[in-house]
A = this chain, B = another copy of it.
């Protein structure tokens, strides 16, 4: 496959070329410098699509739900993009497909674009890349873009929040340990979903969530938007239409009120911070690369300490990388 300049991929993207979308996302993910100017242009052109964050812990059934939502939107004639952010193997560097496999029936439909993203490096680059991917799909004409994350880990939760509408999926009957981990995740919901509501114990989870909301224990008050709690069964199909209605209502309210403007402002600030961290850490690592092993050796035998060595490493890396720009 011949190398196509990113600028040319952008031209193809605007014509809805899904392969161009895929290749641009790959470049966004790898942080390729050549693609940055193009990604900047993508950003200028994007901003029309409805970005829906869907999150939930492993086992909550969120991936199945994402599939159902996408299918239903598709049946209505919409184009749907799915950006799935998964923890990655530290060795393979690739996303783990896992439940993505269940989506194969969707994957053959050109009106649905599915992309799994890895969490590369610990540089916060995942958030930046995932949001770039949403913009790419936005420009490619996908009206709704679902960004799916595992609801464990601060970055994953923040990414799900960096959307126009955030859906948090809870499953009935998961262990206490798993529910506890979700506590921080529950608070970001614009819409709560209880999955597997064909099960007997689902009602308990529905009531628990409603009660937490009533007591004000969960979400900070959002003017004009009483957070809905919706039971859904991927098995019987119950509730999926209700969820879609709630998503559409939230989007309407966002567009016609300050809610959306403030939300996009917050997302922009998050995105700026993540992009700046990526850019800074990337150059820091490049500048630090050759110095680090020697400093680490002094650390391993405890003749120095991490703080002294870290300061030294930072200064020599910044001096190497930024001396011209800061002069």
A interface with B by C-beta (< 8 Å): 36-37, 39-41, 43-44, 46-47, 57-59, 63, 86-92, 96-99, 119, 121-122, 124, 128, 131, 150, 152-158, 161, 174-178, 180-181, 183-184, 187-188, 261, 264-265, 267-269, 271-281, 284-285, 288, 292-293, 295-297, 299-300, 302, 305-311, 313-315, 317-319, 322-323, 325-326
Q: Which residues of chain B have C-beta atoms less than 8 A from A154's C-beta?
A: 87-88, 90, 119, 121-122
Shortest C-beta distance, A94 to chain B (Å), equals: 9
Q: Which residues of chain B have C-beta atoms less than 8 A from A131's C-beta?
A: 306
The answer to whether B326 touches A315, judged by C-beta atoms less than 8 angstroms apart, is yes
Closest CB pairs A-B (n = 7) = A98-B180, A89-B184, A40-B305, A153-B153, A269-B296, A268-B300, A268-B299
Shortest C-beta distance, A232 to chain B (Å), equals: 17
Q: Which residues of chain B have C-beta atoms less than 8 A from A302's C-beta?
A: 43-44, 46-47
Known: A58-B58, A272-B306, A275-B307. 14 other contacts (CB 8 A): A40-B308, A44-B305, A59-B177, A63-B177, A87-B181, A98-B181, A128-B306, A150-B181, A265-B300, A273-B292, A275-B306, A276-B309, A276-B314, A277-B284
Shortest C-beta distance, A222 to chain B (Å), equals: 14
The answer to whether B98 touches A176, judged by C-beta atoms less than 8 angstroms apart, is yes
Q: Which residues of chain B have C-beta atoms less than 8 A from A37's C-beta?
A: 307
Specify which of A99, A122, A161 lies most central, judged by the most chain B CB atoms within 10 Å of its CB.
A122
Shortest C-beta distance, A264 to chain B (Å), equals: 5
The answer to whether A305 touches B153, judged by C-beta atoms less than 8 angstroms apart, is no
Q: Given A184-B91, A280-B280, is A319 in contact with B310 using a C-beta cutoff of 8 Å?
A: no
The answer to whether B299 touches A96, judged by C-beta atoms less than 8 angstroms apart, is no
User: Which of B181, B296, B325 is in CB contact (< 8 Å) with A272?
Assistant: B296
